[in-house]
Structure formats: C-alpha cells, structure tokens
Structure 1
Amino acid sequence: MTDTIAPPRHPAIRPGATAIVTGAASGIGLAAATRFSAEGMAVWLADLPGEALDAARATVAAAAQGDAPVRAFPTDVGDRAAMEALRDAACAEGPPALLMLNAGIEAGGQLFSEAETWHRILDTNLWGVVNGIHAFAPAMIEAAAPGAIVVTGSKQGITTPPGNTPYNVSKAGVKAVTDALAHDLRNRGNGHVTAHLLIPGFVYTGLTKARGVKEKPAGAWTPEETVDVLLAGLARGDFYILCPDNETTREQDAKRIAWAAGDIIENRPALSRWHPDYAEAFRAFSRGR
C-alpha cells in the first residue's frame, strides 16, 4: 500500500485555525471555503443574508474535516460597521489565520451608468476589500502567527477592456490596495502574514449566471479548478496568482498585460488593443513577432 503524500500548503492553512471568506455563498468563495473546511479549518462564511448563504453553510459543513465548525454570518462587505461586527464575532477567540476577501459584483455598469450603480459596485468590490483589511489585518499582524490575506482581483482590473467601466475601476483599485498591503506586510519585518492577489480567468460563477449563461461554457473553468491554482500559488508564496482557463493560456494573458502596459511606454492611444489602427500590431505582438 502506497502512502498518499499531501500537497504542500501555505502555513496559514492548518487544522484548527480559522478562515474567513467573503462572497462565500457561491462561486470561488464557496469553493474556497469548502476546501478550507476540508483541511480542518474553522470557517466563517460572509455574504448577504438569504437562502444562498444558508445553503452554502450546509455545503461547507458537509465537507468539514473532524469537528471543525462552519458558521454563516450575514454581512454587507461595503458597510464598515458590518465588517467590524463580523470581526468581533469571528475573532472572539483570536484572529483568523486566513482572510479571503472575495465578495464582488458586476451589475452591468457602464461609464455613464447612474451614480447608484457606480456606488453599488465600488462599495462591494473595492470598499469591501478596504473594510476587510482594516477590520482584520491589524490583529492578524499582532498575532505573530502564520497568516495569509487573499484578495480576489480580475484581469479586467489590469487590462481594463472597453465596457464594464465601474467593475474595471473597482478591480484596478483592488489591485492597488493589495499591492500596498503586500508591501506593508513585507516591510514589517516578521513576515508572518502574507498578501496574495488571486486573478481568476473565465470562471463559471454566479456573475456568469447573472448574465443569462445557464450552463458552463466549454471555455470556462469551474470554481474548484480556480481554487486548485490558488492553493498551489499560496504554497509557492506567489503574490500574483494568475489563472488560465480553457480558452486563454497564461502566455496569452502575459501578452495582453504586457501590451496594456506598453500603451504608456509607447505612447499609444488608450486601450489601443481595441483601436482599429493597432489591431494588426497587437495580433503580431500576440504571435510573438
């Protein structure tokens, strides 16, 4: 009989420690919470109140290793007081080892969408991250124990494609905040708590379903596949955890990101990847020429 060797894990992922996941009622958040519970962690699921959150708690509890507790805590991440209430409840016996700030919405916003749409997207996607960091990070740092803060970003926050402007802005802000967090943690000297930016590819989640896609497209990954890449990236100590999918390779992503940065360096028009005068140049660049 051959012994099974467990895959390497970030030291924050350990039995008996606590993981907090926002946006945990579906998609990547639910898949991550389920995996953390299966690793023997106590898990807190934070999301808006309702049947989805209740069902998620049952799903995660079914995967729990040993007697690790699973708790659902209704939370509006864009509300600072609500995030502080989550902190007070979850940290009653000590700070979490792992904080995953994953909550996000798309809401179909455009550049000239009404202010309400802009606020709803930015409050959830950007302020939800800022609120989470402010609520939890100080205690995690003071604990001087291995910890990790994972923030879910987006490729759209890096290449900022046309349309969906409020979402792009929110995710560009998320990247900037998480960059700053990683720098701050690195320069505190103890290095016990690390920051990581998860950059998913095309994933079949609640956001996809909200656009009317009822079945997983062939090009999309499942949330579970994305979490596999997350765990591997955490184990390696990666900050940028850039995920491919079934239609886009990591090499293609690298070309798109490099081209976006090149707009500034080469003084090209904004979003030149979608500019008709640069279409052939981008195609040639993507092919490595």
Structure 2
Amino acid sequence: MYAVTGASGQLGRLVIEALLGRIEPGKIVALVRDPARVADLSARGVIVRAFDYDEAGTLAPALAGVERLLLISSSEVGKRVAQHAAVIEAAKTAGVSAIAYTSILRADSSPLGLAVEHRATEAAIRASGMPYALLRNGWYIENYTMSAAASIEHGAVIGSTGEGRISAAARRDYAEAAARVLTDAAMTSQVYELAGDESFTLADYAAALATASGRPVTYVNMSEAAYREALEGIGLPGPLAAILAESSATAAGGALFDDGHELSALIGRATTPLATVVRETLR
C-alpha cells in the first residue's frame, strides 16, 4: 500500500487524486489528523487513518501494511524536525520499505531560513537506513496567486525580491511528481530538484495579473524590513511575516531559481505556465 501524510492539505489532496489516477483506491492510505475531513476519500474507497504528528505513539500502528510512504512536510514551522523524526521512526518500526519526503529546492545549500528544518529531516531520513526519495520542491505558484484578488484590488504586488527570478510551478505539478515517484520509481536513495520550466520575476507576475484581470497591477519592491511590516499590517502573525519577508529577500539572490527541468522530465510534460495558473485563479 501507498500512504500519504497530510492528506487533507492542499498538496496532500492533489497527491491522492494523482494516485487515484494510477492505482486502485484500496491501495491508498490517506493519513490525516482528522479523518472526518476526508470522508469523501473514504467514500471513494481510499483507506483513511488518523495520523497526528504530535502523537508519536500512535503513528506506527497507522502505518501497518504500508510499503511506501510520502511524508509531506508539516505546516508547523519550528516543530517540523521533531514531528518528522517521529514519523520516520514510526515508519521504521512499521516496516515501511521506502520513504519519500517533500523538501525544499537545493535544501543542502539553500540560504532560505525555511531550509534548516528540511536539511535536518533529510539527515534523519538518511540515518534511518530506509531507501528514500527527496522531493526538493521549489516554490508553488499558488504562494503568490492566493493573494491575487488583493493585489488586483490595490493595483500592486509587494515583496522584496527585486529582479530575482523564481522557478515556481503549480502545486498539481509537484503532486503528480510525488505520485509518480511513489508508484513508479525505484526509490533507491535519490534526490530530485524540482522546479518550474519557466522562471519569472515578481514584475512578470504583476504583469500576468494585469493581463488576466484587465486592470493595472505593478510590482512594488521593498526592503525586507518594510515588507515584513506590511505583512504584519494586513494581519499576519509576526513570525510568519518574518519568514515570508526573509524568503522574499533571499530569493533576490536566486535562491528560488532553477533551470534543471527535472520536474517536467519526471511528469513527462511541461510544467503549468504562470499565466495559466493566474487565469484559473481569477476564473
């Protein structure tokens, strides 16, 4: 059986859908904190099991019979290392034969603050002795389009990325890659650097919003500190605002750029263009 953690999340849901297009639902295990959130998957024949990263003692039983596990990184920045370590240990105890993990682009050398916990998790996976696949995902285009309506309303995209290029891809592209690796690949301790085929600047993104909406939208570059203050001003918690501002500023130096095209090679097609995701979001 093939199991996916965080199956009720945005990426997890898409991975489950991709798996359903490839294998029988009875071979898929959706691991979620609250099974009620994926009752629809259960109705379609997917096996649903409760799985809480913070309840270490309950994890191994939930992995009974699982051969391959996709560990989708926790959303709780600051708690990820301990949570992921608990899942890895549970996978070993349950006899899982291989583990895939959604890491971050060039985790071993990335200057992004978010990479620290990913590096620690990758190290724990290697130390486990299990065969693995490290899916080093670049940025999601949806990281930007989630605030598309506000950007169009105010006529501005804000950030501190300058002219740095971002090789983002649609979340569904990364999900398809994960499903393929989980079901097809040998998973003999391999690293995948995954990113979109076409890179763009935030000025390019603003232009895409303008084209799709028919309204003027420009990019306003700020210092990291000013961007953080702006994010806090719209209600984001201070720690989250600091992470986003640091990531944006670090991307100015190319931290989110990649031209290796491993993602499109893995999924067997070009990655979804920025303009397509923008149009779908506004639709």
Q: TM-score interval w.r.t. the shorter chain?
A: 0.5 to 0.7
Which of 23, 27, 33 in structure 1 is aligned with 2:10?
27
Aligned residue type for 1:229? A
Over the aligned positions, Cα root-mean-square deviation in angstroms equals 3.8
1:245 aligns with 2:196: yes
Given that 2:3 and 2:68 are in contact with CA atoms closer than 8 Å, whether structure 1 keeps it comes out as yes
What is the CA distance between 1:26 and its match in structure 2?
A: 2.0
Rounded to whole Å, the distance in 2 between the matches of 1:22 and 1:79 is 14
SS in 2 for 1:171: helix
Structure 1: state its 5+ residue gaps.
Answer: 1-17, 106-119, 142-146, 186-193, 250-272
Partner of 2:71: 101
Name the structure 2 match of 1:114. none
Structure 2 residue corresponding to 1:139, chosen from 94, 100, 113: 94
Q: State whether structure 2 residue 133 is matched by structure 1 residue 175.
A: no
Partner residue of 1:226 out of 174, 183, 208:
174
Distance (Å, rounded) in 2 between the aligned partners of 1:176 and 1:231? 23
1:80 lines up with 2:56 in the alignment: yes
Measured at CA, do residues 210 and 70 of structure 1 come closer, stay the same or move farther in structure 2, by a change above 3 Å?
farther
CA separation in 2, counterparts of 1:211 and 1:89? 33
One-letter amino acid matched to 2:47: V
Q: Deviations over 1:13-50 (max 9, x none)?
A: xxxxx22211211222222222334411433323343x
Partner SS for 1:226: helix
Matches within 5 A, 1:36-55: 36-38=19-21, 39-40=23-24, 41-49=26-34, 54-55=36-37
Residue 128, structure 1, aligned to residue 83, structure 2: yes
d(CA) in 1 for partners of 2:39 and 2:144?
A: 21
1:45 is paired with a residue whose SS is: strand
C-alpha separation between the residues in 2 aligned to 1:43 and 1:232?
Answer: 14
1:24-77 deviation digits (Å, cap 9, x = unpaired) = 11222222222334411433323343xxx644441x457x5xxx443152x331
* CA distance, structure 2, for counterparts of residue 89 and residue 48 of structure 1: 11
Deviation at 1:235, TM superposition (A): 1.9
Percent of matched pairs sharing the same residue:
14
8 A contact 2:88–2:125 mirrored in 1? no
Give the match's secondary structure for 2:132. Answer: strand
1:136–1:210: structure 2 CA closer, same or farther, 3 Å change rule? Answer: farther
CA distance in structure 2 between the partners assigned to 1:246 and 1:126 by the alignment = 30
Q: Answer whether contact 1:37 1:70 (CA < 8 A) is retained.
A: no
TM value normalised by structure 1: 0.52
**CA distance change for structure 1 residues 34 and 57 in 2, over 3 Å: closer, same or farther?**
farther
What whole-Å deviation, never above 9, does each CA across 1:179-227 have from its counterpart, x for those lacking one?
333xx23xxxxxxxx311111122256xx37974569x99642332113
Are 2:101 and 1:151 aligned? Answer: yes
Count of residue pairs brought into register by the alignment: 188
Contact in 1 for aligned 2:32/2:48 (Cα 8 Å): no
Match of 2:74, SS?
coil
Aligned residue number for residue 201 of structure 1: 138
Structure 2 vs 1, CA of residues 88 and 103 (structure 1 numbering), >3 Å: closer, same or farther?
same
| TM-score, reference length from structure 2 | 0.53
- What is the DSSP-based 3-state SS (H/G/I as helix, E as strand, rest coil) of the residue aligned with 2:196? coil
Distance apart, 1:131 and its partner CA: 0.7
